[in-house]
Amino acid sequence: MLTSLRAAGPEQVVVGLEQDPVPLVLAVGTLRRSGGSGCSLALPVPGDPAGLAGPPEFNARALEAGQAVVVTGAGLGLVPEPTPHGIGWQAKDAREPPPPDLYQAGSDLRRQLAETTQRLVELDVARWRPEIADLLTDLRHEGSAPLPPHLDQRRLETVDRAMLCREVVGLAVQHEGGAVTAAEIEARRQALVPLDRAARHALVAACSV
């Protein structure tokens, strides 16, 4: 893990652990000494606090950022926030969510992917955004996401599938493409919302250890 952090690019710091910002690599040791034994990912959106368990202040910050990390055993969570010190993570009191069920989350994502693909075929997605149709085809093949090699195969597959699903959703919401009526726009949105939710929950489950 420490090797991955050192190679992650710009220096990342944690604010709020000590008086001065602490480089993330060193903060890992501090969190371990505070009882930290693992971490869980949160990817909340309005109406779906995926990976969050409170308190309200932490939930609000995580929701604004769209992501957070809860440190298991330390009673702390980290939220990405702008900082003059580099890429910053603000440490705040946080409660641990119930352990996610990786098997169930992966199963739900596969089921939702099949349902969404069928719905997008009915909505003629190939004409609307050809690149989305290409991505949906890629989902049937082995993924190529740059993931740590020590992750078990189920987590690797779940993360890769979820990331590609989120890419499909991201492409779809960039613009309305060939939609000409409010009904078409809403139909596409309704088709994609469940896939985004399933993908976020699958990532939370696969990236919580």
Mean pLDDT by 10 residues, the chain (209 residues): 44 87 88 92 96 96 95 94 79 95 96 88 73 69 57 87 88 62 78 94 93
Q: Residue 175's pLDDT is what? A: 59
Q: Distances from the Cα of 77 to the Cαs of 5, 51, 150, in angstroms?
A: 18, 11, 24
Residue 208, sorted as left (phi over 0), alpha (psi -120 to 50) or beta, turns out to be beta
Going by C-alpha positions, the residue among 177, 192, 181, 48 that lies closest to residue 116 is 192
What are the φ and ψ backbone dihedral angles of 168, each rounded to 5 degrees? -60, -50
Q: Residue 146's pLDDT is what? A: 57
**What is the rounded distance in angstroms from the CA atom of residue 150 to the CA atom of residue 115?**
31
Instruction: Name residue, tokens 């590609």.
Output: 164
Helices and strands of the chain, counted as H and E runs: 8, 6
**CA 88 from centroid of its chain's CA atoms:** 18
What is the edge-to-edge ordering of all strands in the sheet holding 68-72?
22-23, 12-15, 86-93, 76-83, 68-72, 38-42
Any long-range contacts for 57-65 (C-beta under 8 Å, 24+ apart)?
A: 57/92, 57/93, 58/92, 58/93, 58/94, 58/95, 61/90, 61/92
Instruction: Name residue, tokens 């997008």.
Output: 120
Rg for the chain, CA atoms, rounded: 19
Determine the angle formed by the axes of helices 102-122 and 182-206, rounding to 10 degrees: 160
Q: Residue 104's pLDDT is what? A: 97
Count of beta carbons in the 10 Å neighbourhood of residue 29: 12
42, β-bridge pairs:
68
Q: Residue 204's pLDDT is what? A: 96
Give first-to-last CA distance, the chain, whole Å: 12
Q: Residue 107's pLDDT is what? A: 96
